[in-house]
C-alpha cells in the first residue's frame, strides 16, 4: 500500500503561497504556509529574490521544523514562493521537495505545484529520449523542461505555450528573479486565490493563508488563466482556449481538504459542510441521544446533522494535536498505536448512549473500525456511522493520494459489508445528489472518485510511484 495502511484518510495534496511587491516577503510566505500546513506535512520550502539573487531553503518536515526564526532571515527579497507537500507523485525524499529551483540559459526559475499531471510520463519519456536529465521523480519537473525547451523559449508567450502542453490538475506558482506567475489548469481542479496587501500581491491555495497575513481577497485565478506580476503591475492572459469552459473543480476540497474558514471556489467551506451534514440527516435519520464528529474535518458536517435532526451535539472524541506524523513511523505496530493516540474517546459523554458519529469519508475502513471499537469499549450503547460524502469507489489521479481501487473498501464491499467490517450498528453515506446540493454550479465539480466519470483520460495512470520506478530503472540501466 502507498502510505500508511492504518491511516484511513485521504492524504493531503499540497499548498502553495507566493508574494510580490512587499519588502520582506519570507515571513509572509512562512505565515501563509503555516496556514496551509493541513494540506501537507511531508516537506516545506521557500524561494525568494531581491531582484539580483535567488535564495532557497527547503527540507523534510513541518513548516516550523524547516524554518526556525533564524532561517527566515536568510531569505531577503521582495518576491518569493513557498510550498508544503504531501506527495501524490514521487516519494518523500529531499530531491522532490518544492519549490523546484533550476538554472536555465536565461536565468533561475522556481516552480511550486499543487495537483497531478496525467501526461507527465509521456512528456518525461520524450525529453529523456532526447537526452534530458531529470533530478526528481515528481511530475512537476516536466514543466521545467518545457520552459527550457528551445521550441518554447524562443517563441512569444513562452510560459503560456508550455502550460498548454500539460494535461491534468495544476495550480502553479512560478518565479524568476524579478517576476511572479500563477496559473491554474483549464478544468480548474485545484484552487488558487489572489490577494492584495498594501501595494503587494499574494497568491495562495486557500484564502485562509491570505487572512493569516491580513491580505484582502480579490478573486480566484480562473481556470486556464496565467497571471503575471512584475514591476509594471499585474497582468492576465489565457493559455487555454475558452478560458475555463468545462470546469471540473475538485469537490473533495470542500468535503475534506480545505480549512473551514477558507473561501473555496466562491463558497465558504464551513457553511458548505454544515449543509452537507443537514442533507445527510435527511437522507439517513436515526433515533439517537447525541451526535459527535470525528475531528477535525467532520466537525462542520456533524453540526449540520445535529441542527437538522434535533439531536444534541457533543464531543465524543478529543483530538491530540501533538501526535507525530504516522506516515514516517517505521513499523506497522507503531503506526497503529499512533493512530489510536490521535483521538481519545470521552467516556462519560458516550457511555450508555446511542451515538451518531459523523465523518467526512471512509477510505480503507481500518480507522473507522478502530474508532467504533473505541466507542464500544467506552460503553456506547449504539453507534451509527454517517459519512458526509458518497462511497469512495475510484482512485483520484488529479492530486489526492487515495488508495488504489483494490484498497478502497467501498469498491470491493457493499454498504452492509462495510458496516459489518467497521462494527457499527448502521452506516449511511450521503448520496451523490445530496453531495452536490450546496452548490449552485454543481456541474462545475469533479466527482470521479465517487462516480468513476473522469473528466480526462486516465487510462495510462499507474500510481504515485510511477516516475520513481522509471527513475530507478533508468539509473540501473
C-alpha cell read off for 378: 467506552
Which pLDDT band, with edges at 50, 70 and 90, does 153 fall under? confident
What does the pLDDT look like over 221-252, one tens digit per residue? Answer: 999 999 999 999 999 999 986 544 589 999 99
Domain ranges of the chain: 14-248, 263-451
Average pLDDT, stretch 328-353?
72
Q: Which candidate, 76, 15, 20, places its Cα nearest to that of 215?
A: 20
Just list the catalytic residues: 14
For residue 93, the model assigns a pLDDT of 76
Average pLDDT, stretch 470-477?
38
Cis amide bond preceding 221, omega within 30: no
For residue 165, the model assigns a pLDDT of 95
Does residue 7 carry a pLDDT above 60? no
Does residue 61 carry a pLDDT above 60? yes
Q: Report the alpha-carbon distance of residue 157 to residue 171 in Å, rounded.
A: 18
What does the pLDDT look like over 382-410, one tens digit per residue? Answer: 999 999 999 999 999 898 766 578 889 99
What does the pLDDT look like over 251-269, one tens digit per residue? Answer: 999 999 999 999 999 999 9
Q: Which range has the worst mean pLDDT, 43-57, 59-73, 151-165, 267-281?
A: 151-165
Q: What is the mean pLDDT of the chain?
A: 89
For residue 337, the model assigns a pLDDT of 59
Average pLDDT, stretch 159-169?
94
> In angstroms, how far apart are the furthest CA atoms of the chain?
73
Does residue 90 carry a pLDDT above 60? no
Which pLDDT band, with edges at 50, 70 and 90, does 319 fall under? confident
Q: Report the alpha-carbon distance of residue 16 to residue 20 in Å, rounded.
A: 14
Which pLDDT band, with edges at 50, 70 and 90, does 426 fall under? very high
Q: Which range has the worst mean pLDDT, 45-49, 138-142, 216-220, 291-295?
A: 138-142
Does residue 142 carry a pLDDT above 70? yes
3 sits in the region (left: phi over 0; alpha: psi -120 to 50; else beta) called left
Which pLDDT band, with edges at 50, 70 and 90, does 86 fall under? confident
For residue 468, the model assigns a pLDDT of 52
CA dihedral 65, 35, 140, 53 (to 10 degrees): -70
257: helix, coil or strand? Answer: helix
Q: Report the alpha-carbon distance of residue 166 to residue 186 in Å, rounded.
A: 10
Task: Name the class of domain 263-451.
Answer: alpha beta
For residue 425, the model assigns a pLDDT of 98
Calculate Rg over the CA atoms of the chain: 22
Does residue 10 carry a pLDDT above 60? no
* Contact present, 177 and 136 (Cβ < 8 Å): no
* Contact present, 427 and 418 (Cβ < 8 Å): yes
Does residue 295 carry a pLDDT above 70? yes
Sequence-distant (6+) residues with CB within 8 A of 68 are none
Which pLDDT band, with edges at 50, 70 and 90, does 321 fall under? confident
Average pLDDT, stretch 31-37?
97
200: helix, coil or strand? Answer: strand
* Contact present, 30 and 72 (Cβ < 8 Å): yes
Q: Which candidate, 221, 273, 270, places its Cα nearest to that of 247?
A: 221
Does residue 274 carry a pLDDT above 80? yes
The listed CATH number (3.40.50.1100, 3.40.50.10490, 3.40.50.150, 3.60.20.10) that belongs to domain 14-248: 3.60.20.10
Does residue 350 carry a pLDDT above 80? yes
Average pLDDT, stretch 4-24?
73
Amino acid at each position: 500500500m502507498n502510505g500508511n495502511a492504518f491511516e484511513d484518510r485521504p492524504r493531503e495534496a499540497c499548498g502553495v503561497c507566493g508574494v510580490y511587491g512587499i519588502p520582506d516577503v519570507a515571513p509572509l510566505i512562512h505565515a501563509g504556509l503555516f496556514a496551509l500546513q493541513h494540506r501537507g506535512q511531508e516537506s516545506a520550502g521557500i524561494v525568494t529574490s531581491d531582484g539580483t539573487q535567488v535564495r532557497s531553503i527547503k527540507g523534510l518536515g513541518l513548516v516550523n521544523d524547516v524554518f526556525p526564526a533564524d532561517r527566515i532571515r536568510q531569505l531577503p527579497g521582495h518576491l518569493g514562493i513557498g510550498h508544503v507537500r504531501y506527495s501524490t507523485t514521487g516519494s518523500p525524499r529531499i530531491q522532490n521537495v518544492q519549490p523546484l529551483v533550476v538554472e536555465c540559459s536565461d536565468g533561475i526559475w522556481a516552480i511550486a505545484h499543487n495537483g497531478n499531471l496525467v501526461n507527465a510520463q509521456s512528456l518525461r519519456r520524450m525529453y529523456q529520449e532526447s537526452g534530458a536529465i531529470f533530478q526528481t521523480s515528481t511530475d512537476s519537473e516536466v514543466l521545467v523542461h518545457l520552459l527550457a525547451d528551445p521550441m518554447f523559449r524562443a517563441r512569444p508567450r513562452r510560459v503560456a505555450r508550455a502550460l498548454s502542453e500539460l494535461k491534468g490538475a495544476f495550480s502553479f506558482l512560478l518565479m524568476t528573479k524579478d517576476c511572479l506567475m500563477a496559473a491554474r489548469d483549464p478544468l480548474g481542479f485545484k484552487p488558487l486565490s489572489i490577494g492584495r496587501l498594501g501595494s503587494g500581491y499574494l497568491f495562495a491555495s486557500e484564502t485562509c493563508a491570505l487572512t493569516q497575513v491580513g491580505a484582502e481577497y480579490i478573486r480566484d485565478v480562473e481556470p486556464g488563466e496565467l497571471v503575471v506580476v512584475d514591476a509594471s503591475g499585474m497582468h492576465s492572459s489565457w493559455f487555454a482556449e475558452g478560458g475555463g469552459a468545462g470546469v471540473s473543480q475538485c469537490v473533495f476540497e470542500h468535503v475534506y481538504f480545505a480549512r473551514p474558514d477558507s473561501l473555496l471556489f466562491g463558497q465558504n467551506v464551513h457553511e458548505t459542510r454544515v449543509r452537507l451534514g443537514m442533507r445527510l440527516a435527511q437522507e439517513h435519520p436515526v433515533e439517537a441521544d447525541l451526535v459527535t464528529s470525528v475531528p477535525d474535518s467532520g466537525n462542520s458536517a456533524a453540526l449540520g446533522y445535529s441542527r437538522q435532526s434535533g439531536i444534541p451535539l457533543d464531543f465524543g472524541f478529543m483530538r491530540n494535536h501533538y501526535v507525530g506524523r504516522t506516515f514516517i513511523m517505521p513499523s506497522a505496530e507503531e503506526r497503529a498505536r499512533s493512530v489510536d493516540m490521535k483521538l481519545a474517546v470521552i467516556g462519560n459523554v458516550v457511555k450508555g448512549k446511542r451515538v451518531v458519529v459523523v465523518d467526512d469519508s471512509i477510505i480503507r475502513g481500518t480507522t473507522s473500525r478502530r474508532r467504533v471499537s473505541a466507542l464500544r469499549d467506552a460503553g456506547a450503547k449504539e453507534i451509527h456511522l454517517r459519512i458526509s460524502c458518497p462511497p469512495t469507489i475510484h482512485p483520484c489521479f488529479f492530486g489526492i493520494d487515495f488508495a488504489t481501487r483494490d484498497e478502497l473498501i467501498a469498491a470491493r464491499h457493499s454498504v452492509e459489508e462495510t458496516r459489518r467490517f467497521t462494527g457499527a450498528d448502521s452506516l449511511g453515506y450521503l448520496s451523490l445528489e445530496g453531495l452536490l446540493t450546496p452548490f449552485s454550479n454543481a456541474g462545475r465539480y469533479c466527482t470521479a472518485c465517487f462516480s468513476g466519470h473522469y473528466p480526462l483520460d486516465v487510462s495510462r495512470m499507474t500510481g504515485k510511484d510511477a516516475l520513481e520506478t522509471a527513475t530507478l530503472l533508468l539509473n540501473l540501466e
